[in-house]
């Protein structure tokens, strides 16, 4: 029997401590929460992706009365980026969440489905995607989507 130990490095800092390019991405993600359609959960999530060509693409969660027909902000953002810029890698994605008119105090982490989509997008372009999770009290920064899903499912899983 063997043991496998996995560790994840997460940088933790405040908005004031963030580099200017990260601040800009967070501001875009926070702004994107205003376009969320969340009449059922009243949990408004926005995401902003920085592409390798310098473009920033945003998206927000879109709910539907027929669960699970809605879509999370991360997937809306990444799918939009992939559709509009199919040959352009996503370098970073920032996520912010708002409830009762206030941004969450602590970072909001992507759901399992979004983690898988972020990992697939990272693998698609063969370059790491920085993940920035915003909270009013602190921000988490991960160097790669693989850090969110360390034992992920990818094409190598299909043909192993």
Could you list the active site residues?
Answer: 74
Closest CA to 150 of 6, 3, 2: 6
Q: Which residues contact 98 (CB under 8 A, 6 or more apart)?
A: 30, 33, 36, 43, 44, 45, 46, 104
Q: How many CB atoms lie within 10 A of CB 41?
A: 12
């Amino acid at each position: 029997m063997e043991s496998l130990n996995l560790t994840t490095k997460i940088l933790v800092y405040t908005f004031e401590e963030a580099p200017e390019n990260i601040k800009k991405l967070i501001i875009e993600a926070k702004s994107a929460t205003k376009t969320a359609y969340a009449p059922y959960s009243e949990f408004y999530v926005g995401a902003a992706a920085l592409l390798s060509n310098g473009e920033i693409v945003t998206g927000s969660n879109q709910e539907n009365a027929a669960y699970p027909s809605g879509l999370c902000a991360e997937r809306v953002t990444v799918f939009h980026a992939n559709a509009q810029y199919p040959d352009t890698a996503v370098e970073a994605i920032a996520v912010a969440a708002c409830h009762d008119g206030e941004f969450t105090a602590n970072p909001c982490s992507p759901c399992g489905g979004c983690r898988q989509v972020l990992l697939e997008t990272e693998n698609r372009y063969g370059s790491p995607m920085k993940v920035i999770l915003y909270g009013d009290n602190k921000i988490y920064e991960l160097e790669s989507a693989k850090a969110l899903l360390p034992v992920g499912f990818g094409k190598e899983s299909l043909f192993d």
